[in-house]
Chains A and B, each alone.
Chain A
Amino acid sequence: MATAEVAHHDHHDHHPTGLMRWVTTTNHKDIGTLYLIFAFIMFLLGGAMALVIRAELFQPGLQVVDPHFFNQMTTVHALVMVFGAIMPGMVGFANWQIPLMIGAPDMALPRLNNWSFWILPFAATLLMSSFLTGGGGPAAGWTLYAPLTIQGGMGVDLTIFAVHMLGVSSVLGAINIIVTVFNMRAPGMHFMKMPLFVWTWLITAFLLIAVMPVFAGAVTMLLTDRHFGTAFFDPAGGGDPVLFQHIFWFFGHPEVYIMILPAFGIISAIIPTFSRKPLFGYTSMVLAVAGIAFLSFIVWAHHMFTVGMPLVGEIYFMYATMLIAVPTGVKIFNWVATMWRGSMTFETPMLFGVGVVFLFTIGGLSGLMLGITPADFQYHDTYFVVAHFHYVLFSGSAMAMMGGTYYWLPKWTGHMYDEKLGKWHFWLTSIFFNIAFFPQHFLGLAGMPRRIPDYALQFTEFNVISSIGAFGLGITQLLFGYIVYKCIKGGEKATSEVWDNPEGLEWTLPSPPPYHTFETPPVVK
Chain B
Amino acid sequence: MSSTPGSYYLPNPSHWPIVGSIGLFSLLLGLALAINEVNAGPWVMTFGGVVTVYMLAGWFGTVARESEGGLYNDHVGMSFRMSMLWFIFSEVMFFAGFFGALFYVRVLSVPWLAETDLLWPGYAGGWPTAGPAGAVPILPDTPVQEGQFSTIGPWGIPFWNTVILLSSSVTVTIAHHALKADHRAKLIIWLAITVALGVIFLFFQAAEYIHAYKDLGLTLGTGVYGATFFMLTGFHGAHVTIGAIILAVILFRVIAGHFSPDNHFAFEAGAWYWHFVDTVWVGLFIFVYVL
Q: Do chains A and B touch in the complex (CB under 8 A)?
A: yes
CB of A164 within 8 A of CB of B28, answer: yes
CB of A24 within 8 A of CB of B13, answer: yes
Distance A183 CA – B84 CA, assembled complex (angstroms)? 14
Chain B residues with CB below 8 A from A123, complex form: 25
Which of A8-16, A281-289, A334-342 faces chain B?
A8-16
Distance A210 CA – B86 CA, assembled complex (angstroms)? 10
Q: Tell yes or no: B35 within 8 A of A by CB.
A: yes
Chain B residues with CB below 8 A from A20, complex form: 13
CB of B105 within 8 A of CB of A239, answer: yes
Chain B residues with CB below 8 A from A109, complex form: 79-80, 83
Q: Tell yes or no: A322 within 8 A of B by CB.
A: no
Distance A440 CA – B78 CA, assembled complex (angstroms)? 51
Interface centre among B29, B58, B86 (most CB of A within 10 A): B86
Known: A165-B25, A238-B132, A247-B100. A9 touches B227 (CB 8 A): no
Q: Tell yes or no: A100 within 8 A of B by CB.
A: no
Distance A227 CA – B112 CA, assembled complex (angstroms)? 26
The digit string for B118-134, where 1 denotes a CB below 8 A from any CB of A, is: 00000000000111111
Which of B59-67, B184-192, B194-202, B257-265 faces chain A?
B59-67
CB of B21 within 8 A of CB of A119, answer: yes
Known: A119-B21, A237-B133, A519-B7. A15 touches B13 (CB 8 A): yes
Residue in B83, B98, B101, B113 whose CB lies within 8 Å of A175: B83
Main secondary structure of the interface of A (DSSP, over half): helix
Which of B88-96, B153-161, B246-254 faces chain A?
B88-96
Q: Tell yes or no: A154 within 8 A of B by CB.
A: yes
Distance A226 CA – B61 CA, assembled complex (angstroms)? 38
Q: Tell yes or no: B50 within 8 A of A by CB.
A: no
Distance A161 CA – B69 CA, assembled complex (angstroms)? 38
Chain B residues with CB below 8 A from A520, complex form: 7
CB of B11 within 8 A of CB of A26, answer: yes
**Which partner residue on chain B sits nearest A23 by CB separation?**
B18
Q: Tell yes or no: B42 within 8 A of A by CB.
A: no
Chain A residues with CB below 8 A from B31, complex form: 161
Distance A516 CA – B98 CA, assembled complex (angstroms)? 44
Interface residues of A in 111-152 (CB under 8 A from B): 111-112, 114-115, 118-119, 121-123, 125-126, 129
Closest A-B pairs by Cβ, 7 of them: A238-B131, A217-B97, A229-B221, A115-B17, A230-B227, A238-B224, A24-B13
B contacts, CB < 8 Å to A: 1-3, 7-8, 10-18, 20-22, 24-25, 28-29, 31-33, 35-36, 38, 58-59, 61-62, 65-66, 69, 71, 75, 78-80, 82-83, 86-87, 89-91, 93-98, 100-101, 104-105, 108-110, 112-113, 129-134, 219-221, 223-228, 230-231
